[in-house]
């Protein structure tokens, strides 16, 4: 077992070593000793020590650095960097010294050298109207406390939790870390925490800036701490240079005036003595000759110890939960936004477009802080939003749904309108069409970019640390802001993120493969017990009852596309058993007529009666009876319009299942119809596995399964290769001999004249002729004869 672990430790060492070699040049950047610029790393979010005002660095630390630079005839140049990343910049040579109220402690002293220049301490803050009045850290047991990331007192509070709180059977102190003091204060004002632990000088400025909405409760300064300038180890010459400058400004009295201005103090001897092992000077302020504590190279021991830190495992669970919930919720909400954006209602389009524009424009970081701070203005929301997990989840959903809406919109646009028409022809309502036909196909198209968005969300969870959610990055920051082992810690963070992304991507990839019907193997066949009851089922298809004189009556139909009138006062009566072929030149209105009969195209004027009862009225919205009766008008499209994500048998069973038919009986009928059109052996195949002729035969069976009173064919052979045309025409001819009422739009002249008892000739949106085939053949209409001669096949 030991050799096994040793082997993998060596593997890790090689991988991390390569990464470390790539970034090492950054950490040995050369400093130009002859430069007239003193480069300072500083966090300008920590007033009064350092802050930005009128685009200039202000506060004690900037004033102190300006003073030192002037003494050496240089200019102080400030590099604003957040406290959790400030040591990275120092080690990478981006600046020479860090002057940002850094607290001195043993773990930090292993990575950098400290030159002490200030002392401070902490105080406790609560809301002005709060009755809670803590004086010491022991009073904080069971309370939540906000603090700036990396503060020295966080370790002290953790120790109090372990020693005092536990021994007194009290709950631990819950410390929530924030990037800056203002954000820690906002958390307190928003009821996200009970108390804020803050530096005394910072606390006074916070109270002033927030118009006394907070108050200090502790009468005495808590946990006095030493503050030092951080410099790179082994840079003895530069450390001596800084010490000489500090001695100079102290002797001149300028430093004392600066301390007085900010009501601060130089470290006393007791505090220096307590921290003597962690600073680069002795009690007299001279540079030590021997450095006792020094850390070089990549700290492998620390890396492997922290790699199995349970806090990282807990944070990983948080990241997975947060990103998973955010992705699923944004996926659904984004889909609704996409549907709204494609709606025919202008109001919905405008609202969704505005939402997408707004939340794609808002930085997530701003949205996070805004939502987390909302309880300050709407206190009732603190029940939910005071919890950083829920606040972060809401922010992620609001932001990511805007991006996912565009992904969904692209996927929905990729679904052919013919698929929707096929669903409507089967009598499915809007949401059923979306759920059963559109969404499954759109999901397969959208899944790759949605997976990419999931990966993005996983990484974006690191931003939720700004409202103190303990996710992977925050755990890492909590470690390296105390020990400054930045590269080692961030490598661990990277490993956890890579592991999560790899697992999630693999799982979704497997799901994507499962949705891809082109990669499925069809091993299902018709069982004997299914087949034995099939025979003669199709003989019962035609209804013997004839509730009206005509199966279909078209009265004064008119249809416009813009200024073009495509149907002009169409009148037609269809008898039971009629087989009517509609012929005419392209653009004559044949397909439009068929589509208006079953409501796929809106009718502007006129009335359609079906089985003697009004079915569609021009200019009116379809009513409930329309959707209940539409299934009795079977529709076959020229492009088949089978549903590619469903098997042949499932294509046939979709409408009966939706309309509440007995599935056992309907399945037998479906199999009978497949047998009738010669497709029984292909029942469990998918449409992509069939030829065009086979698909069209399945489409005919799908239209017949609802036992329609009339069949509508829209150029059923126009998309087929010539050798496949006959197999479809044979099926239609067989239906004609069985007495099925049919309207057939076709360019197959010989077929039309062979199977039809009536033929309509249309031109320019009008029915020019409506006669028996032999009458039309012998007509003396020159235009008709010209058309027939040109289209003889």
- For residue 788 the two structure tokens come to 């027939």
Higher per-residue pLDDT: 198 or 718 = 198
Instruction: Grade residue 466 by pLDDT with cuts at 50, 70 and 90.
Output: confident
CATH number corresponding to 305-515: 1.10.3720.10
pLDDT single digits (tens) 667-726: 999 999 999 888 998 999 999 999 888 898 899 999 999 889 999 999 888 777 776 788
pLDDT single digits (tens) 19-75: 544 444 444 444 455 578 999 999 988 888 888 888 899 999 999 999 999 988 999
**E-strand stretches of 232-307:** none
- For residue 571 the two structure tokens come to 């009148």
Domain ranges of the chain: 35-117+225-297, 120-223, 305-515, 577-600+631-792
Degrees to nearest 5, angle at CA 193 with 59 and 199:
25
Asked if the model's pLDDT at residue 83 lies above 70, the reply is yes
Q: What pLDDT, on a 0 to 100 scale, did the predictor assign at position 10? A: 55
Rg of the chain, C-alpha, whole Å? 40
Q: Which residue carries 């840079």 as its tokens?
A: 235
Q: Yes or no: say if 428 and 658 are a contact pair by the CB < 8 Å rule.
A: yes
Question: Taking residues 544-565, what's their average pLDDT?
Answer: 85
Higher per-residue pLDDT: 722 or 620 = 620
Instruction: Grade residue 298 by pLDDT with cuts at 50, 70 and 90.
Output: confident
Residue 271: CB partners within 8 Å, gap ≥ 6?
119, 224, 226
Distance (Å, whole) CA 223 – CA 27: 34
> Does the fold of domain 305-515 match that of domain 120-223?
no
Helix (H, G, I), strand (E, B) or coil at 528: helix
End-to-end CA distance of the chain: 82
Q: Residue 265 gets which letter from DSSP?
A: B
Q: List 69's β-bridge partners, or say none.
A: none
Question: Taking residues 610-628, what's their average pLDDT?
Answer: 85
Closest C-alpha among 612, 629, 607 to residue 427 = 629
Asked if the model's pLDDT at residue 285 lies above 90, the reply is no
Q: Yes or no: say if 750 and 780 are a contact pair by the CB < 8 Å rule.
A: no
Distance (Å, whole) CA 293 – CA 277: 8
| Burial state string for 619-657 with b = 16 or more CB within 10 A and e = fewer than 16 | eeeeeeebeeebbbbbbbbbbbbbbbbbbbbebbbbbbe
Q: Which residue carries 């549903």 as its tokens?
A: 643
Give pTM, 2 decimals.
Answer: 0.77
Asked if the model's pLDDT at residue 535 lies above 70, the reply is no
pLDDT single digits (tens) 240-272: 999 999 999 999 999 999 988 888 888 889 889
Asked if the model's pLDDT at residue 456 lies above 50, the reply is yes
CATH for 35-117+225-297 (3.90.1150.10, 3.10.105.10, 3.40.190.10, 3.40.50.970): 3.40.190.10
Instruction: Grade residue 526 by pLDDT with cuts at 50, 70 and 90.
Output: low
Distance (Å, whole) CA 196 – CA 203: 9
Q: List 561's β-bridge partners, or say none.
A: 564
Residue 741: CB partners within 8 Å, gap ≥ 6?
551, 552, 574, 575, 576, 577, 578, 579, 709, 710, 711
- For residue 36 the two structure tokens come to 């007239």
pLDDT cut 70: percent of the chain above it: 91
Q: DSSP letters of 300-338?
A: HHHHHHHHT-HHHHHHHHHHHHHHHHHHHHHHHHHHHHH
Q: List 79's β-bridge partners, or say none.
A: 41
**165-179, 286-300, 655-669, range with the lowest pLDDT:** 286-300
CATH number corresponding to 120-223: 3.40.190.10
Half-sphere exposure (CA, 13 Å, Cβ side) for 644?
19
Instruction: Grade residue 108 by pLDDT with cuts at 50, 70 and 90.
Output: confident
Instruction: Grade residue 727 by pLDDT with cuts at 50, 70 and 90.
Output: confident
pLDDT single digits (tens) 376-433: 888 888 888 888 899 999 999 999 999 999 999 999 999 999 999 999 999 898 899 9
Closest C-alpha among 180, 475, 87 to residue 319 = 475
Q: Yes or no: say if 264 and 59 are a contact pair by the CB < 8 Å rule.
A: no
- For residue 666 the two structure tokens come to 């309907």
Helix H or strand E encompassing 77:
strand 75-80
Q: Taking the CB of residue 250, how many other CB atoms lie within 10 A of it?
A: 15
Q: What pLDDT, on a 0 to 100 scale, did the predictor assign at position 747? A: 86
Q: Yes or no: say if 403 and 360 are a contact pair by the CB < 8 Å rule.
A: yes
Domain 577-600+631-792, what architecture? Answer: 3-Layer(aba) Sandwich (3.40)
- For residue 90 the two structure tokens come to 């120092």
SS3 content of the chain, % helix, strand, coil (to 5): 55, 20, 30
Residue 536 falls in which region: left (phi positive, over 0), alpha (psi -120 to 50) or beta: left
Q: Which residue carries 């350092």 as its tokens?
A: 50
Sheet of 564-575, strands arranged across: 564-575, 550-561, 605-610, 613-617
pLDDT cut 90: percent of the chain above it: 43
């Amino acid at each position: 077992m030991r050799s096994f672990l040793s082997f993998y430790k060596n593997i890790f060492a090689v991988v991390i070593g390569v990464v470390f070699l790539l970034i090492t040049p950054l950490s040995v950047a050369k400093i130009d000793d002859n430069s007239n610029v003193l480069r300072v790393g500083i966090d300008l979010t920590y007033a009064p020590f350092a802050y930005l005002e009128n685009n200039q660095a202000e506060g004690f630390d900037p004033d102190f650095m300006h003073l030192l630079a002037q003494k050496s005839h240089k200019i102080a140049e400030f590099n604003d960097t957040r406290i959790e990343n400030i040591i990275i910049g120092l080690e990478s040579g981006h600046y020479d010294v860090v002057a940002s109220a850094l607290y001195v402690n043993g773990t930090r002293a292993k990575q950098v050298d400290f030159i002490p220049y200030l002392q401070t301490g902490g105080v406790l803050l609560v809301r002005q109207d709060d009755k809670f009045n803590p004086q010491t850290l022991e009073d904080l047991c069971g309370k939540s406390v906000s603090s700036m990331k990396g503060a020295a007192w966080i370790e002290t509070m953790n120790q109090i939790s372990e020693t005092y709180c536990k021994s007194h059977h009290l709950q631990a102190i819950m410390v929530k870390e924030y990037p800056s003091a203002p954000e820690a204060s906002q958390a307190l004002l928003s009821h996200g925490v009970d108390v804020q632990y803050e530096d005394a000088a910072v606390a006074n400025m916070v109270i002033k800036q927030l118009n006394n909405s907070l108050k200090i409760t502790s009468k005495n300064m808590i946990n006095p701490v030493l503050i030092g300038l951080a410099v790179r180890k082994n840079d003895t010459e530069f450390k001596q240079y800084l010490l000489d400058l500090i001695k100079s400004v102290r002797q001149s009295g300028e430093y004392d005036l600066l301390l007085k201005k900010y009501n601060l103090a130089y470290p006393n001897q007791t505090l220096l003595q307590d921290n003597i092992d962690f600073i680069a000077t002795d009690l007299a302020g001279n540079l030590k000759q021997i450095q006792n504590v020094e850390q070089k190279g990549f700290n492998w021991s620390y890396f492997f110890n922290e790699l199995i830190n349970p806090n990282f495992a807990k944070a990983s669970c948080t990241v997975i939960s947060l990103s998973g919930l955010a992705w699923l919720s944004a996926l659904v909400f984004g889909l609704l936004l996409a549907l709204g954006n494609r709606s025919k209602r202008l109001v919905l389009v405008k609202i969704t477009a505005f939402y997408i524009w707004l939340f794609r424009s808002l930085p997530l970081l701003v949205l996070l802080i805004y939502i987390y701070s909302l309880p300050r203005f709407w206190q009732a929301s603190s029940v939910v939003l005071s919890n950083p997990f829920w606040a972060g989840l809401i922010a992620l959903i609001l932001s990511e749904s805007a991006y996912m809406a565009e992904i969904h919109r692209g996927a929905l646009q990729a679904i052919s309108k013919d698929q929707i028409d096929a669903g409507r022809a089967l009598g499915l309502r809007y949401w059923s069409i979306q759920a059963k036909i559109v969404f499954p196909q759109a999901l397969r198209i959208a899944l790759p970019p949605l997976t990419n968005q999931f990966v993005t969300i996983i990484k974006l969870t690191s931003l939720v640390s700004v409202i103190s959610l303990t996710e992977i990055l925050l755990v890492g920051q909590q470690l390296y802001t105390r020990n400054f082992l930045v590269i080692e810690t961030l490598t661990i963070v990277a490993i956890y993120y890579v592991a999560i992304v790899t697992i999630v991507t693999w799982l979704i990839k497997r799901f994507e493969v499962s949705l891809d019907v082109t990669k499925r193997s069809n091993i299902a066949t018709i069982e004997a017990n299914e087949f034995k009851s099939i025979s003669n089922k199709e003989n019962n298809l035609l209804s013997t009852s004839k509730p009206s004189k005509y199966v279909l009556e078209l009265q004064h139909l008119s249809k416009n596309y813009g200024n073009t009138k495509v149907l002009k006062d169409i009148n037609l009566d269809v008898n039971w058993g009629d087989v009517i072929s509609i012929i005419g030149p392209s653009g004559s209105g044949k397909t439009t007529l068929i589509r208006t009969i079953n409501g796929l195209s809106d009718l502007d004027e006129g009335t359609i009666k079906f089985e003697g009862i009004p079915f569609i009225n021009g200019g009116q919205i379809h009513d409930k009876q329309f959707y209940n009766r539409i299934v009795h008008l079977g529709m076959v499209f020229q492009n088949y319009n089978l549903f590619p994500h469903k098997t042949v048998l499932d294509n046939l069973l979709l409408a009966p299942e939706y309309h509440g038919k007995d599935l056992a009986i309907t399945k037998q009928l479906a199999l009978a119809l497949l047998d009738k059109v010669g497709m029984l052996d292909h029942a469990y195949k998918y449409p992509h596995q069939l030829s065009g002729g086979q698909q069209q035969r399945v489409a005919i069976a799908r239209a017949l399964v609802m036992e329609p009173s009339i069949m509508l064919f829209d150029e059923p052979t126009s998309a087929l290769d010539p050798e496949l045309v006959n197999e479809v025409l044979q099926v239609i001819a067989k239906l004609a001999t069985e007495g099925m009422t049919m309207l057939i739009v076709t360019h197959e002249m010989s077929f039309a004249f062979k199977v039809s008892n009536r033929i309509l000739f249309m031109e320019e949106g009008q029915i020019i002729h409506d006669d028996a085939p032999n009458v039309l053949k012998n007509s003396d209409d020159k235009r008709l004869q010209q058309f027939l001669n040109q289209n003889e096949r």
